[in-house]
Structure 1
Amino acid sequence: MSKLGDLGARLHRGEIGYDFVKNRKIWYGISILITIVAIAGLAVRGLNMGIEFQGGAVFNTPKTSVSVSQAEEYAEDASGHDAIVQKLGNDTLRIQVAGIDTDRADQIKEELAKDLRLDPERLNAELVGPSWGDQIANKAWQGLGIFLVLVVIYLAIAFEWRMAVAAFVALIHDITITVGIYSLVGFEVTPGTVIGLLTILGYSLYDTVVVFDSLKEQTKDITKQTRWTYSDIANHSINSTLVRSINTTVVALLPVAGLLFIGGGFLGAGMLNDISLSLFVGLAAGAYSSIFIATPLVADLKEREPQMKALRKRVLAKRAQAATQGGLPDTPVTDDEGDEPEDAAPAVVGPRHQPASRNRGRGRPSGKRR
């Protein structure tokens, strides 16, 4: 077995682990700080909405020796609006001018073809009306809203409302960070961005549900034992699925990183940036939120219940009693009948020391047995 596989097995058995729930305030603080930066960037810089959302025109040139900066200057002079120019394969250019009326598109095309020394017939123009762009934007927001509502309803039915709230907070966290990064970087927001955003939300939700399912299974009849608190079991659920979450996230990030840094960066395929950036940031944020936000938040909400508060008092009292009697604080505490409960969740424990019985050998005749 590999070292990573051995680590995952030991985490799953509870032989080792990290206390994520205990340090939840640190993770909450980091998330709040990143979210504030993302919201500030969004408020100051705004989003660079693509032609599909604003309306305008896109001009595709044949092979040309004109530089990107020069073509951008020509397009802005011809249209009177800001232009975005991307260099595609075979030295072709994609010139995007947003916010212009479709009636002026032919005039801009003529002037742009003249400046680029091209035949106007070879300059391909694609027009997008502003009303159509507004419809696309509204449909995107409606789709996102419906997705979030359905997610909350499903989790509330399949698990409980506290897990639904925690998953919703984690999803909002992922959306805010991804949108904020888009604003700070200045990448263009296109329908591909929306597709990538919905994709990473599904991925983040999958990672969260895996931990929730483990937590639900291990907390059955939790109040019938005095060995572990709800937070202890929640922490074990994170540790038992930790290596799986890391593996799936890394494997998913590798091809997306190839699209973003190699395809969009070195090879100049700028159209890949819109979807690859949302996938890259969203996958990383989703893995973080499922481990550091969603499950600790569930533990916080559950520990507020009266029965969980009572359970916590009993568990702490048992541990304090074991410590004063010279036992191990983490030694499993049995239930009232003296047997270890079957539904108790595994956790990080040390070696169990069985004290020698004081009655061993008492009453036995000395010498060899006959």
Structure 2
Amino acid sequence: MFSFRRWGNELYTGRRSHDIVGRRKTWFITAVALMVASATLLLTRGVNLGIEFVGGSQFTVSGAETTAEQPANDVVGETGGEPPRVSAVGDDTVRVQTGRLSDVETREVRDGLAEAYGVPVDDVAATFIGPTWGQDVMAQALVSLGVFLVLISLIMVLYFRTWTMVVGAVGALVHDLVVTAGVYAAVGFEVTPASVIGLLTILGYSLYDTVVVFDKVRENNAHLLTQDKRTYAEGANLAVNQTMVRSINTSVTGLLPVAAILFIGAFLLGAGTLRDISLALFVGMLLSTWSSIFLAAPIDAALRERRDTIAKHTRTVLERRERRRRAAGDEGEVDVTATTADLTGVGVVAGRHLGQTAQPRRKKGRR
């Protein structure tokens, strides 16, 4: 029977390993395909921008007998306007958003909504929202994103002392943002300032998991050039396996309350306003877990192996390993076993056992 605890212990100690860094081309192709598909959806279908970004009139009906959408659609349709956006806010409140209406049209819609939902006219609040506020929020969000990326890049360069990890972390962040935006374009959910806040929030989740993985990569490869037991990619793969359970547990505990808001609050209870931020958080947290495992460290390893010193060390390790394997075969050695992995010694990475100790065949004594 599968035991998650035993599986996690085996990954951390190195007795079990999944070849993640070694199969990085597969993950890169998958990530690029997802980003291209998302970009295509954004260019062709676009996103459903909320009233804060495009402007328009908003009506809030309090104490409504029902929160159904059809009465609002019928009332707005009689004025000849575009189909409204109707959402339930709580048990007895309905929010209706339309395009910009004249004063006469606003009074007609207000009176019609009061009659359709069985409330006094005074319980229907009518406001006009201009697009300036939403555009300011978007502009500030873009500025914040740029400042965030610059500061994070500087901090990571100073902490890890290499730019390859910065590229891996930023690449994972860009992947998460683009694919999340593509999901919004695919499902047609409304994009509001709350959605923008959700997109910025997932950056923290993605970066947190990535930094944990990179810290383990640095620890495993601290004395890389002074040993010939494993390559940089194999040390990075060991780090990914060692932190995999931690990333999964962190994501599951974070996804549970978000899933409750998205599926129970937004769909079952009808709190449509919660969908704006909960969808961004739910999709972004899933993607951040995937990207921190399958993108960040593989990108770093691919860039590191382009350096002359790392490439030379990799060739040396592989050549010596091949010579030992051939020598063991020529001498007829059997029963090859692997030593237990530790943080600075030899580990089982990339699906292979490193640091093998040979057990020579026992010779028969003379008679």
Deviations 1:193-248 (A, max 9, x none): 12211111100100000000001111112111111100000100000011111111
Distance 1:155 1:342, change over 3 A: closer
Is contact 1:167–1:205 with CA below 8 Å preserved after alignment?
yes
Unmatched tracts of structure 2, length 5 or more: none
One-letter code aligned to 1:18: H
Of 85, 104, 108 in structure 2, the residue corresponding to residue 111 of structure 1 is 108
Question: Does 2:119 correspond to 1:122?
Answer: no
Q: The residue matched to 1:127 in structure 2 has which SS?
A: strand
- Contact 1:319-1:330 within 8 A present in 2 as well: no
Aligned pair partner of 1:277 in 273, 276, 279: 279
| Map of 1:11 onto structure 2 | 11
Aligned to 1:302: 304
Q: Name the structure 1 match of 2:146.
A: 145
User: What's the secondary structure of 2:306's corresponding residue?
Assistant: coil
Determine the structure 2 residue equivalent to 1:156. 157
Q: Following TM superposition, by how much is the alpha carbon of 1:57 offset from its aligned partner in structure 2, in angstroms? A: 2.6
- Rounded to whole Å, the distance in 2 between the matches of 1:70 and 1:211 is 53
115-124 vs 31-40, which moves further: 115-124
Kindly report the root-mean-square deviation, in angstroms, between the aligned alpha carbons of the 2 structures. 2.7
Aligned with residue 206 of structure 1, among 191, 200, 208: 208
Distance in 1 (CA, whole Å) between partners of 2:54 and 2:135 is 7
Q: Which residue of 2 aligns with 1:59?
A: 59
Deviations 1:149-204 (A, max 9, x none): 22222212211211001111110000000000001111111121122111111001
Q: 141-150 or 341-350, which moves further after superposition? A: 341-350
The aligned amino acid for 1:55 is G
Is the Cα–Cα contact under 8 Å of residues 55 and 132 in structure 1 kept in the other structure? Answer: no
1:82 to partner: Cα distance: 4.2
Distance 1:134 1:329 in 2: 68
Which residue matches 1:230? 232
Q: What one-letter code is carried by the residue in structure 1 that aligns with 2:311?
A: K
* Identity score, percent: 39
Say whether residues 1:253 and 2:255 are aligned partners: yes
| Partner AA of 1:20 in structure 2 | I
* Kept after mapping to 1: 8 A contact 2:38/2:181: yes
Q: What is the rounded CA distance, in whole Å, between the counterparts of 1:143 and 1:320 in structure 2?
A: 51
After superposition, the Cα gap between the structure-2 partners of 1:35 and 1:66, relative to the gap in structure 1 and judged at 3 Å, is closer
Instruction: Output the CA distance in 2 between the equivalents of 1:4 and 1:128.
Output: 52
Greater share of residues in strand: 2
- Counterpart of 2:41 in structure 1 is 41
Larger mean Cα displacement after TM superposition, 24-33 or 323-332 = 323-332
74-83 or 308-317, which deviates more? 74-83
Following superposition, the deviation at residue 346 of structure 1 comes to 3.0
- Deviation readout 1:36-60 (Å, 9 max, x if unpaired): 1111111111111112222223211
3-state DSSP class of the match of 1:61? strand
Write the distance in 2 (CA, Å) between the matches of 1:195 and 1:242.
Answer: 27
- Counterpart residue type for residue 209 of structure 1: V
Separation (CA, whole Å) in 1 of partners of 2:347 and 2:197: 40
Secondary structure, counterpart of 1:241 in structure 2: helix
Q: Structure 2 length as normaliser, TM-score? A: 0.87
The answer to whether the aligner puts 1:312 opposite 2:309 as a matched pair is no
Counterpart CA distance in 2 for 1:90 and 1:245 is 37
Structure 2: which amino acid aligns with 1:303?
Answer: E
The one-letter amino acid paired with 2:125 is: N
Count residues in correspondence. 348
Partner of 1:132: 133
Structure number, greater radius of gyration: 1
Q: How far apart are 1:144 and its partner, in Å?
A: 1.9
The answer as to whether partners of 1:55 and 1:130 remain within 8 angstroms in 2 is: yes
Aligned to 2:288: 286
Contact 1:234 1:299 in 2 (8 A): yes
Structure 1 stretch 30-39 or stretch 273-282: which is displaced more?
30-39
Distance 1:121 1:212, change over 3 A: same
Rounded Cα–Cα distance in structure 1 between residues aligned with 2:150 and 2:337: 43
Q: 1:70 to 1:219 in 2, by over 3 A?
A: same
CA contact (8 A) 1:204 1:283 kept: yes
Letter in 1 for 2:126: A
Measure the CA separation in 2 of the matches of 1:205 and 1:296.
Answer: 15
Q: CA deviation at 1:304?
A: 0.6
Tell me if structure 1 keeps the 8 A contact 2:27–2:294. yes
Tell me, yes or no, if the aligned pair for 1:52 and 1:136 is still in contact at 8 Å. no
Query: Distance in 2 between the 1:329 and 1:175 partners?
Result: 50
Secondary structure of 2:91 counterpart: helix
Query: In the aligned structure 2, how far is the partner of 1:121 from the partner of 1:314?
Result: 81
What SS is found at the alignment partner of 1:90? coil
Q: Does residue 1:28 correspond to 2:25, yes or no?
A: no
